[in-house]
Structure 1
Amino acid sequence: MKQLDEFDRAILRIVQKDNKTPQRQIAENVHLSAAAVQRRIAAMEGAGVISKNSAILNTYAVGMNITAIVAVNLKDERVDTVDAAKKIFSSSAEVQQCYYVTGGISFMLIIVASDMKAYEEITRRLFAQNDFVANYCSLIALDRVKSSSEVLIP
């Protein structure tokens, strides 16, 4: 990974809040030239520090009214079982986030759906129809208090 200096960190603080910030504006804020900012951003993208540029959507505005936080337990933790679960969960468009975790649970998922009927169909497809899933527990979000992809940059 690229070693980050204070300029890189300052640039990252800005672009993760709004990656459409003009590079000349970033340059003014971090006291570099626009060309230097452009080179640094390109280098951080090339090194994988910036892994993706995307838009965060308001799920309600696009008709995805249900957000579920789901704890999934696998029948076993063998490599082939875990890899099969990772493949299925990561390929599902409704799974917004997927974490392979420790602490008595195998995976934690964030899933969005248009309504409870759609959510039931998702759970059948992802959990009930897969032999590697022992059980799962859904928590339905009542309110999205905070939604962010920002990483605290020291």
Structure 2
Amino acid sequence: MTELDKFDYRLLELLQENSRLTGSELSTQVGLSSAACLRRVQRLRETGVIERDVAVVSPKAFGKRMMIIVLLTMERDRPDRYILMREAFAKMPEVVQCHHVTGAHDFVLRIQVADMDEYSEFVERVFHEPYIKRYESLAVLGSLK
């Protein structure tokens, strides 16, 4: 496991907000030289602390203004369906995040749709299988972080 200090944590915090910050910009906010910041960032990447850099695409740019969080519970006597559901969710464009979880529910999904009509169509197409015990939909009013 990689030892992290206060400078590493600050770099990670800044890069999570904007992974395109330059060494100079990082230096100003962290209090180390630009070269030291870049060496640390490279080490964080090489050791797997930073797994990857991604572009966060705005769903609104594609007319997907509504976010729904779904708590999905499967029938317990159908464990073969877990693998099939994971594979199916991975292919559905409306599903932008899928987590197989422990506890009362089996999956937590983040669904991005244009409106409630599109979500209703998604529900009819996906959640009315006999191996799905129940689902709970939570419409997101706003995101804080």
Into which bin does the TM-score normalised by the smaller protein fall?
0.7 to 0.9
Give, in angstroms, the shift of residue 41 of structure 1.
1.5
Aligned identity (percent) is 30
Query: What is the rounded CA distance, in whole Å, between the counterparts of 2:59 and 2:46 in structure 1?
Result: 30
5+ long unaligned stretches in structure 2: none
What is the aligned partner in structure 2 of residue 85 from structure 1? 85
Q: What SS does structure 1 have at the residue aligned with 2:135?
A: strand
What is the aligned partner in structure 1 of residue 139 from structure 2? 140
Give the TM-score of the pair, scaled to structure 1: 0.76
What is the aligned partner in structure 1 of residue 49 from structure 2? 49
5+ long unaligned stretches in structure 1: 149-154
Contact 1:65/1:112 (8 A) holds in 2: yes
How many corresponding residue pairs? Answer: 145
Closer/same/farther in 2, CA of residues 34 and 73 from structure 1, 3 Å limit: same
Contact 1:70/1:109 (8 A) holds in 2: yes
Contact 2:68/2:137 (8 A) holds in 1: yes
What is the aligned partner in structure 1 of residue 27 from structure 2? 27
Post-superposition, which runs of at least 4 consecutive aligned residues in structure 1 deviate over 4 A? none
Contact 2:78/2:131 (8 A) holds in 1: no
